[in-house]
Structure 1
Amino acid sequence: MTISQDMLRAEVAQRIRAARPELAARLDLRTPDGLLAAQQEILLAAQDAKVSAICVLRGFDLPTWVRATCAFAGRVDPAAAVAWRQDFTRTVFLAGNPDNLRDRFTFGHVADDGSAAWQDPAPVGDSSTLRRLLKLFDGSAELPTRPPAVVRVLADRDPAGRAPVRRELYVATAGVTVADCLVHLNHLLVEAVLDGVVGPGDQLTVRQAPRLSGLAGPFAALRIANTPSRPDQLRAYAALTEEAHHA
């Protein structure tokens, strides 16, 4: 199954049905116009999101952040995750040193190297003090190119009888900034963990490619958003393959 506009529209429609069934009932997500209308409503609603998580970043290293993001998602309370999913796992990225903030703020997870820390998803007002204290993380630089890296995630979690699997995690780079990457991968990874697609001990081979349109599936998860220059066109920004088979 190769990535195509029809496939991308079907995937986006499925995500909307799961998180916002009332939109699916009111708009015809099978048509490009209906899907675009739903996405526009979601963008407007995001400005008044009820629930969000907070990520404080001292710096950004792609494999390290992938590992830490999965660890954070694996610790999110299931009840909190339900409300968070209704706001499409919205996360705000702030610039700061977590080590300097632990005495004043409670974090649900801190990366092993201290480069990032997360506040659990909660009503937006709960994080107002931290958001006033820190600025948004400046991720305006283009995503740096790096060789493939193997990341083992959730290694400290009980697998509960589930055998670890290997997957490929593809990240698009053409025209993508660090800030873009944070947003796209955050949605993909936390939702994959919450859904049980990514589990304890899994190995993710992180690979970068200018564009993902040529990739052939099957895919376990996709991060899809509009192309900035063409709102009617969708683009895959990250892709998580089904279990990789090795000889």
Structure 2
Amino acid sequence: MTTPATLSVSGVQDRLRHQLATRLATARPDLARRHDLTTPAGLAAAQQDIAALSDETTTLAAVVVHHLDLPAFAVATCAYTASLDDTQQAAWRRDFTRTVFLAGNPANLRHRFTFAHTDPAAHLAYTAPGPAAATAPLRRLLKLFDAPARLPARPPTLLTIPTPPGLRPTRPPRHRRLHLATAGCTLAQALVHLNHLLAEAVMDGLITGGDRLTLIQEPTLTTAGPAFAAWRITPHPATPHHTGRLHAAAALTEETPHA
């Protein structure tokens, strides 16, 4: 019997394709009906359909970033997603939790723009998911957040996810490890990977208020490691996109003993 530790390269790619197909089918069941997502060709066709969508009809969120701290960003993204109602979450997820990151100071913008969530330090401010036109004035005013520096490895960091005001935890706290691959990854790319993974994990009930996450930044993720409950799958950074080779950019483990 083949175990994760003995998976061939093709076996690893099959596993990653399965995870990517699951994400696409969850957000857009119509893609699963239209394309065979179990095949590389079907996945590629579905991704072409997604790329062809008009920006004008896309639901997106905008995040103003004043100071970047990945652990604080991870916590804020979970808190923000948990604060959204079911309709907002569903619309955002249908467009794959699309998010635009902008460079700016939330403190200087709060009197001109409405934000759905701001982190306690006021370093991050999130707009509610909505039509692209809703954030067009903000996006015209600010430049895209650019952080080209390579993502460093760092010691594990323990994070606690807050419970939204007025809500009670729906279950006992859980602990998971949040793995982020650093090889070939910039700080700006790390924001994108964590944003998609964590927002969708909150929507799926994998993360809720009171939970703890241990953020682990390491060169690469391996399918021979711990069992993962959620993945962020992207084209492999070291190979051309047309090859179809995939890469695990980030992942969230199954529940581990509470730390």
With the length of structure 2 as denominator, give the TM-score of the two structures. 0.90
Q: In the alignment, is residue 230 of structure 1 matched against residue 235 of structure 2?
A: no
Q: Paired residue for 2:227, among 218, 227, 236? A: 218
The range that moved more, 51-60 or 32-41, is: 32-41
Which deviates further from its counterpart, 48-57 or 152-161?
A: 152-161
Q: Secondary structure at 2:71's aligned position in 1? A: helix
Separation of aligned partners in 2, 1:246 and 1:16: 31
1:137 matches 2:145: yes
1:12 CA displacement: 0.9
Q: CA deviation at 1:48?
A: 5.2
Aligned to 2:72: 64
Using a 3 Å threshold, how does the CA distance of structure 1 residues 106 and 48 change in structure 2: closer, same or farther?
closer
For 1:111, the aligned partner's letter is D
2:191 aligned residue: 182
Question: Aligned letter for 1:129?
Answer: P
Q: Are positions 1:97 and 2:109 aligned together? A: no
Tell me, yes or no, if structure 1 residue 191 matches structure 2 residue 182: no
In the alignment, what sits opposite 2:172? 163
C-alpha contact 1:54 1:92 (8 A) present in aligned 2:
yes
Hey, what does 1:127 align to over in structure 2?
A: 135
Counterpart in the other structure of 2:118: 110
**Cα deviation, residue 46, structure 1:** 6.8
Q: Give how far 1:230 is off.
A: 3.2
Asked if the contact 1:159–1:199 (Cα under 8 Å) also holds between the matched residues in 2, the reply is: no
CA contact (8 A) 1:46 1:87 kept: no
Equivalent of 2:48 in 28, 40, 43: 40
- More deviation in 82-91 or 38-47? 38-47
Give aligned-pair identity as a percent. Answer: 49
CA distance in 1, matches of 2:33, 2:132: 27
CA drift at 1:226: 1.0
Unaligned runs of 5+ in 2: none
Q: Structure 1: which 4+ aligned runs deviate by more than 3 Å?
A: 46-49, 155-161
Distance 1:211 1:49, change over 3 A: farther
CA distance in 2, matches of 1:94, 1:215: 36
Alignment-derived partner of residue 152 in structure 1: 160
Question: Root-mean-square deviation (CA), in Å?
Answer: 1.8
| Cα distance in 1, alignment partners of residues 150 and 33 from structure 2 | 39
Partner of 2:154: helix, strand, or coil?
A: coil
- Matched pairs, number: 247
Letter in 1 for 2:145: F
Task: Select 1:55's aligned residue among 43, 49, 63.
Answer: 63
Deviation at 1:13, TM superposition (A): 0.8
Q: Give the TM-score taking structure 1 as reference length.
A: 0.94
Question: After the TM superposition, which of the residue ranges 206-215 and 104-113 deviates more from structure 2?
Answer: 206-215
